[in-house]
Amino acid sequence: MSTESQQNTKRVTTRRLQEMRDEGDPIVCLTAYDFLTARLLDDAGIDLILVGDSVSNVFQGNPTTLPVTLDEMIYHTKAVSRIVRRSMVITDLPFMSYQVTTEEAFRSAGRVMKETLAHGVKVEGGQRAAKVVEKISGEGIPIMGHIGLMPQSILKFGGYRPRGTSENEADAIIQDALALEEAGAFAIVLEKIPATLGKRITETVSIPTIGIGAGPSCSGQILVTHDMLGLFEDFRPRFVRRYAALADEMDRAFREYIQDVKSGNFPNESESY
């Protein structure tokens, strides 16, 4: 990006996201954990970049999001936010960095804001996280909620089946959304719930809803970048649309390189000094 266009770039803020929601302009979000991906997302015009705790799965190779630490989230957020000019950067507070006490939650959010250039944080939980959201938001830190399927609770759920498919569960998720709005969340991620419930919640709350497997009526959509690029292939939920097949392309490149080195075809004269 040129210096001139950097100067003309208007940062996406919580206010801008609310305007987009009110105007019916879909909010486009993806994840990043490194500087190169973040720069590509920002240059392409992604509105919100999430430094998600999915880094635990698709970067660290863990089976769940539980092992990633606050220090590691801060490390990745620094790499992302130092390059981003326009997108809003939000960081997931990882498991056990906000559940024990409200004070600890605020301290964790404060560390993210103080040590990185992130613009806010995200926590999982609805009614149970409302006090934490109220404290963090009340202290001036933008905070997003995340309800429906919550990956930090996956061992309790016992699997990745959609949430909110029964009337009782759907009602509880609507109450969660209302509790987050009331507590001061600026937006809510809705993960893996029926499209009809995604629509109901979006029509019930007045803040933006960001869907991942929550149907087309949400105020915006998010995917894990490694999934939509076809880089992470261990797990393929129905809501992931693949926009590239990068794992196949990387495999082809690695095999071609091996062949070229083994056969003496690399390096050639123009690649030598």
Question: Residues 6 or more apart from 31 whose CB is under 8 A from it?
Answer: 49, 50, 51, 52, 54, 55, 222, 223, 224, 225, 226
Between CA 121 and CA 102 the distance in angstroms is 14
Find the binding residues for ligand KIV in span 28-87 (CB under 6 A). Answer: 31, 50, 52-54
The verdict on 129 binding ligand KIV (CB under 6 A) reads no
Mind telling me the catalytic residues? 191
Q: Nearest CA to 222 among 171, 162, 146?
A: 146
Smallest distance, Å, CB 52 to ligand KIV?
2
Q: Which two tokens stand for residue 211?
A: 């869907």
- CB-nearer residue toward ligand KIV: 23 or 234: 234
Find the binding residues for ligand KIV in span 164-203 (CB under 6 A). Answer: 189
Smallest distance, Å, CB 231 to ligand KIV?
14
- CB-nearer residue toward ligand KIV: 236 or 252: 236
Smallest distance, Å, CB 147 to ligand KIV?
11
The verdict on 27 binding ligand KIV (CB under 6 A) reads no
Question: Residues 6 or more apart from 206 whose CB is under 8 A from it?
Answer: 181
Find the binding residues for ligand KIV in span 232-261 (CB under 6 A). Answer: none
Q: What are phi and psi of 49, to 5 degrees?
A: -105, 125
- CB-nearer residue toward ligand KIV: 5 or 212: 212
3-state secondary structure 152-195: HHHHHHCCCCCCCCCHHHHHHHHHHHHHHHHHCCCEEEEECCCH
Quick note: the x/- pattern for ligand KIV over 143-162, rule CB under 6 A, is ---x----------------
**What does the chain come to in residues?**
273
Q: Which residues bind ligand KIV (CB under 6 A)?
A: 31, 50, 52-54, 92, 146, 189, 212, 222, 224
